Amino acid sequence: MVASTRIVVGVDGSAGSLDAVRWATREAVRRHVQIEVVTSTLDRTGSYGDAVGLRMGAFRDADVEAKRVLVDAVDVVHDTAGVAGVSVDTRLERGSAAEVLLGLKDRPAMIVVGSRGLGDFTGGLIGSVSSAVVTHARCPVAVIKDGAVRDGPVVVGVDNTPNSRPAIGLALEEASARGVDLVAVHAWSDLELASVFTVDEYGRWWESELAENVSLAESLAGWADEYPDVTIRRVLVQDRPVRELVRQAEGAQLVVMGSRGRGGFASMLLGSTSRAVLHTVDAPVIIVPTSR
C-alpha cells in the first residue's frame, strides 16, 4: 500500500461527522496537507428489472443524497479553514463505511471519524465504524466526539516498550504544531499487593518504582533533542493506566495512544487500555498502530 500525506475524513451527514470534518480541517491546515472527504452508500438505483423487490422510492438515485453529504462537508471545510485555505477532494464509494475507509488504495497520513453517526456509522459507545477503523487501520486514526476546540496539553500513553514509540513520535509532532506541552503518562500496576505489606520502604515497591521511572526516562530519551520546542512533563503513577489517562485527559486538547500495549495477548489488534480510553474520554483521541 502506497502512503500519502493527505488526511481522510469519513462523513455521513451527521453532526458527529461534521465535527470530524472541522477537526480534520484544522489538522490539515497545521500540517499544510490536503484533506479528502469520503462517503459511501450501500444502496443501488432501482430498475424495471427489479420486479420482485419493487417498492416506493425504488427509482431514487442513492448517489444524490451521498453527493449532498459531500457538498455540505466541503462547505464546512472551507468555513473552518477560512483565510488559511486548504486543498480538498471528495470521494464517493460503494460498500460499507468501514470497508471503504480501510480499503483506500493510497494509505493516508491519518483517518478522522466521528465517534457516532447515522446508518452504518452508528452503534455502540463510539460507533461500529469508528471501532472497526481504529482496530484495523494501518495509519493513525483520530476519533472525534464533539466539536469543542480545547486548550491544554497533548497527552500520550507510554508503556515503556517499543510499542509506544510511534505514539510518542506523533504526540510530540502534534504538541509542537500546537505550541503546547506534552504530558507523558506511564501507569504501572505489575506489583503484587502482597509484596507491599511484606517488605519495608526500601524493599520491592521502592525498587519497582525506581525501575519504572528509569524505564520511562529511557523511553523519552532523545525525543527532546528532536523537539526542543516541546516541554515534556512526565507522569508516573502506580495505578491502572486507564484511570490516570482519563484523569489527565480532562485538561487536554488531545490524547494519543498506541493501538496495543505491553499487556494482553500479542494477537490483539486493539488493546484494552486504548479501547477503554476511546469509550471514556471526551477529548479527541488518536490511535497509532503498533507493529503486529
Q: What is the DSSP track for 18-76?
A: HHHHHHHHHHHHHHT--EEEEEEE------TT-TTT--TTTT--HHHHHHHHHHHHHHH
Are 133 and 264 in a shared domain? no
Greater confidence, 38 or 263? 38
Alpha helices in the chain, H assignment, sequence order:
15-31, 62-81, 97-102, 128-136, 165-178, 193-196, 204-220, 223-226, 241-249, 272-280
Q: How many CB atoms lie within 10 A of CB 273?
A: 22
Q: What is the pLDDT of residue 126?
A: 54
Task: Specify if 149 maps to a domain.
Answer: no
pLDDT of residue 198: 47
CA distance 271 to 135: 9
User: 93 with 224, same domain?
Assistant: no
pLDDT at residue 238 in the model: 85
Task: Mark whether 184 and 276 lie in a shared domain.
Answer: yes
**Domain match, 124 and 170 both:** no
Number of domains observed in the structure of the chain: 2
Return the pLDDT at 257.
93
**Least confident among 133-142, 248-257, 269-278:** 269-278
Is 13 contained in some domain? yes
Q: What's residue 59's pLDDT? A: 42
Residue 247 counted as domain residue: yes
Do residue 137 and residue 12 come from a single domain? yes
Of 144, 162, 191, which residue is a domain's last? 144
- The per-residue pLDDT for 222 is 86
| More confident position, 51 or 39 | 39
127 shares its domain with 18: yes
End-to-end alpha carbon distance in the chain? 16
What's residue 197's pLDDT? Answer: 45
Joined together, the cell numbers standing for residue 193 give 499487593
* Residues 138 and 6 both lie in one domain: yes
Highest mean pLDDT (candidates 83-92, 191-200, 269-278): 83-92
- Which pLDDT does position 120 carry in this prediction? 41
Q: Sign of the C-alpha dihedral, residues 169, 174, 180, 184?
A: negative
In 3-state terms, what secondary structure has residue 194? helix
CA nearest to 246, candidates 219, 288, 215, 274:
274
**Which of the four pLDDT bands, split at 50, 70 and 90, describes residue 51?**
very low
Residue 190: inside a domain, yes or no? yes
Reported as a single tens digit per residue, the pLDDT across 167-208 is 999 999 999 999 999 999 998 765 444 444 444 454 454 567
Is the pLDDT reported for residue 58 higher than 60? no
Query: Considering only 72-86, 176-190, 197-211, 271-285, which range has the smallest mean pLDDT?
Result: 197-211
Tell me, yes or no, whether 274 lies in a domain: yes
Cα 161 to Cα 271: distance, rounded to the nearest angstrom: 14
Instruction: Indicate which CATH number applies to the domain containing 114.
Output: 3.40.50.620
The answer to whether 227 and 247 have CB atoms below 8 angstroms apart is no
When mean pLDDT is compared over 53-62, 158-167, 243-252, the highest value belongs to 243-252
Same domain? For 138 and 8 the reply is yes
**Total-model pTM:** 0.83
Q: How far is CA 92 from CA 18, 36, 65, 79, in A?
A: 16, 11, 11, 22
Encoded amino acid at 92, one letter: L
Task: Please state, in angstroms and rounded to a whole number, the distance separating the CA atoms of residues 170 and 27.
Answer: 13
Residue 56 sits in the same domain as residue 117: yes
Instruction: Name the residue range of residue 12's domain.
Output: 2-144
Instruction: Give Cα 86 to chain centroid, integer Å.
Output: 21
